[in-house]
């Protein structure tokens, strides 16, 4: 469980500067926060430290750069 699991989505939205959203669409925020949590829970839990992100930056030599 992360710290984020304990936070109120409305408070998070306000902390992100989404005050208008929090004020006018509180139900949408609740729905979206719950959905996002379910997505993250669907990721594999056995990733090893050696498994790298898909877009690790790769330098190119100036003469081969496009």
Partner 1 sequence: MTEFATLTIAAAAKLIRNRDISPIEYTQALLDRVSAHDAKINAFIRIMPEEALAEARTAEAEIAAGNWRGPLHGVPYALKDIVDVDGVPTTCHSKIMADNVATADAEVTRRLKAAGGVLIGKTSTHEFAIGGPSFDLPWPPARNPWNPDHFTGGSSSGSGAALAAGFVPAAIGTDTGGSVRNPASFCGIVGMKATYGRVSRRGVFPLSFSLDHVGPMTRGVEDNAIMMNAIAGHDAADPGSAPVESLDFTSLLGRDIQGMRIGVIRHFYNRDHVADPEMGQGIERAIDVLRGLGAEISEIELSPLREYAAANRVILLSEAFAIHEKWFKERPQDYGELARKRIIGGAFIRAADYVNATRTKTRLVAELADKMRDIDVAVTASSMDPPNRLDDPDGLEANYGRQARAPFNLTGVPAIAVPTGLSNSGLPLSMQIVGKPFDEARVYQVAHAYEQATGFGAQIPNLD
* 45 neighbors 61 (Cβ within 8 angstroms): no
Q: In residues, how long is the chain?
A: 66
3-state helix, strand, coil in the chain (%, to 5): 50, 0, 50
Which CB atom, from 17 or from 62, has the smaller least distance to partner 1?
Answer: 17
Cα 22 from chain centre: 18
Residues 7-66 within binding reach of partner 1 (CB under 8 A): 9, 12-13, 16-21, 24-25, 28-29, 31-33, 35-37, 39-44, 47, 51-55, 66
Which residues contribute to the site for partner 1 (CB under 8 A)?
2, 4, 9, 12-13, 16-21, 24-25, 28-29, 31-33, 35-37, 39-44, 47, 51-55, 66
């Amino acid at each position: 469980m992360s710290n984020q699991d304990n936070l109120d989505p409305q408070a998070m939205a306000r902390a992100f500067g989404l005050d208008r959203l929090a004020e006018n669409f509180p139900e949408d925020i609740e729905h979206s926060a719950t959905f996002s949590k379910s997505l993250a829970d669907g990721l594999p839990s056995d990733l090893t430290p050696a498994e790298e992100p898909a877009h690790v930056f790769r330098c190119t030599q100036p003469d081969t750069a496009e």
